């Protein structure tokens, strides 16, 4: 009499393989993942390469060793490293990244021969420590020294950099309070110009109030004016504005609610204009 052959136990083996494979993946991915070390910069992902470039730029701000920075960036395997850093500087400016990061990227990009748009706001030049005699200060970023600046002692540096504009002091020349129902409601608008009315970018502004403070720069809205900056005020606060290292504080900027001509209660806006001392 014929007998049925015993079926092979496929299901237990298949289940064991699935459990083993799943357990191995969990262990390798989550419990004890591989940690890559000493990876060449050109093997990094895009985001990691951006972080690498920023670190190189920040190191250059401290070391001022252009050849070391160049060799670090060459490791990325990119042909034009200056343009690469310049593009990242402009992207950082448009994203509103911290000013210190934009300045570091702009400085390195300029040193490598690039011309990032961010350099119009954050000059990469450094004032030499040599004695200088200046005539009326006119801020025009990234121009080489003009006849109005006489250098009495040439700074010794392996990589000469252009002399930046020198601004000795600025004063408040106009202060206007507006109580209107419009898009500028509650806006503290600051305009910084040279003595000829040209906007000055890259001027650091400190706004202080009882609960805190904020720092920002002119030139972040070049479509309005290179010397323009603004700050959104909260209702019923008193603010103080200082151009860091360049002006005395402007006190008593009150955002107490006022009534617009249209009859609605609004936060007032202010227009502050600063210009060099005569």
Q: Which residue has the higher pLDDT, 216 or 146?
A: 216
Architecture (CATH level 2) of domain 170-276: Sandwich (2.60)
Residue 35 banded pLDDT, cuts 50, 70, 90 = low
Domain ranges for the chain, please list them: 41-120, 170-276
Residue 75: predicted pLDDT: 87
Task: List all residues 6 or more positions away from 18 whose beta carbon is below 8 Å from its beta carbon.
Answer: none
Q: What is the pLDDT of residues 79-116, one digit of tens each?
A: 788 888 988 888 888 777 888 888 899 899 888 988 88
- Run of H or E residues at 241: strand 238-243
At residue 191 the predicted structure's pLDDT band, cuts being 50, 70 and 90, is very high
Does the pLDDT value for residue 34 go beyond 50? yes
Query: Of 208, 198, 219, which is closest to residue 250 (Cα–Cα)?
Result: 208
In DSSP terms, which residues pair with 253 in a beta bridge?
Answer: 239
In terms of DSSP bridges, do strands 269-276 and 170-178 run parallel, antiparallel, or are they unpaired?
antiparallel
Pair 227, 200: CB distance under 8 Å = yes
C-beta separation of 241 from 261 below 8 A: no
**Other Cβ atoms within 10 Å of 153 Cβ, number:** 10
Take residue 164 and report the two structure tokens written for it: 């930046």
- Dihedrals φ, ψ of 275, to 5°? -150, 160
**Taking each helix axis from N to C terminus, what angle separates 66-74 and 99-111, rounded to the nearest 10 degrees?**
90
> 188 pairs with which residues across the strands?
231, 270
241, 205 Cβ separation under 8 angstroms: yes
Whether the predicted model's global pTM rises above the 0.85 cut: no
User: Per residue in 151-188, pLDDT tens?
Assistant: 334 444 443 333 344 556 899 999 999 998 888 899 99
Question: Residues 226-253: pLDDT tens digits?
Answer: 899 999 999 999 999 999 989 999 999 9
In the predicted model, is pLDDT for residue 217 greater than 90?
Answer: no
């Amino acid at each position: 009499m014929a007998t049925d052959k015993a079926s092979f136990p496929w299901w237990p083996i298949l289940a064991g393989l699935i459990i083993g494979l799943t357990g191995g993946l969990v262990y390798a991915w989550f419990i004890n993942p591989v940690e890559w070390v000493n990876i060449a910069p050109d093997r990094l992902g895009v985001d990691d390469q951006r972080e690498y470039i920023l670190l190189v730029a920040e190191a250059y701000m401290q070391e001022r060793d252009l050849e070391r920075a160049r060799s670090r960036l060459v490791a990325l395997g990119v042909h034009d490293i200056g343009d690469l850093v310049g593009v990242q500087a402009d992207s950082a400016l448009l994203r509103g990244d911290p000013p210190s990061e934009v300045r570091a990227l702009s400085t390195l990009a300029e040193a490598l021969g690039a011309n990032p748009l961010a350099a119009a706001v954050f000059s990469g030049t450094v004032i030499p420590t040599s004695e200088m005699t200046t005539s009326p200060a006119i801020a025009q970023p990234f121009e080489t020294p003009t006849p109005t600046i006489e250098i009495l002692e040439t700074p010794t540096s392996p990589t000469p950099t252009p002399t930046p504009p020198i601004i000795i002091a600025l004063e408040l020349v106009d202060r206007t309070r507006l109580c209107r129902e419009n898009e500028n409601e509650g806006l503290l608008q600051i305009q910084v110009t040279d003595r000829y009315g040209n906007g000055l970018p890259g001027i650091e502004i400190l706004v202080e109030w009882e609960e805190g403070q904020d720092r920002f720069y002119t030139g972040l809205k070049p479509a309005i004016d290179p010397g323009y900056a603004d700050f959104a005020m909260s209702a019923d606060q008193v603010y103080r504005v200082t151009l860091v290292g360049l002006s005395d504080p402007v006190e008593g900027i009150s955002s107490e609610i006022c009534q617009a001509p249209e009859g609605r209660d609004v936060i007032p806006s202010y227009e502050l204009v600063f210009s060099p001392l005569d």
